[in-house]
Amino acid sequence: MNEALWPFLLYFFLVIGLATLMLLTFLLGERHRERATGEPYESGMVITGSARLRFDVQFYLIAVFFVIFDLEALFIFAWAVGLRELGWTGYIEIAVFIGLLFVALIYLWRVGGLELTTRRTAAQRGERGNH
């Protein structure tokens, strides 16, 4: 019992010690009230404007699609590790999985989910496309 318990106790005391150290450095550390302390550092470049910009929702959708398809790649890598144990059944299952991913990608492409400009924005610019 004690052999299985000591790693947890060690981890617990390390976490408590680290939290105590962080709290002490916060309480005993210096306080700066200069104007430059609160300004963002731009790698030596002059600040040109506010960092609070509004982005179009399409940028967030692209990010979500990337995360989703990136997670699917993780599942495919995990399948590749266990390929020998899974046999033909696993091969058929991953083929169906990749097929569904491909269908989802085609659907996103057809509905315009991967376009960074909306139809209205393209029409205002006078651009022509096959929308």
Q: Say yes or no to pLDDT of 129 above 90.
A: no
With residues binned 3-state (H G I as helix, E B as strand, rest as coil), the percentages for the chain, rounded to 5, are 70, 0, 30
Residue that has been written with the tokens 């967030």 in this structure:
60
Sorted by where each begins, the domain ranges of the chain are: 2-125
CATH 1.20.58 fits 2-125, yes or no: yes
* Secondary structure (DSSP) of 82-115: THHHHHHHHHHHHHHHHHHHHHHHHHHHHHTTT-
Give me the pLDDT at residue 89, please. 92
Q: How many CA atoms lie within 13 A of 31 on its CB side?
A: 3
Instruction: Please write the tens of the pLDDT for every residue from 9-40.
Output: 999 999 999 999 999 999 998 887 777 777 76
What is the mean predicted confidence (pLDDT) over 75-99? 91
In this prediction the pTM is: 0.47
8-state DSSP, 35: G
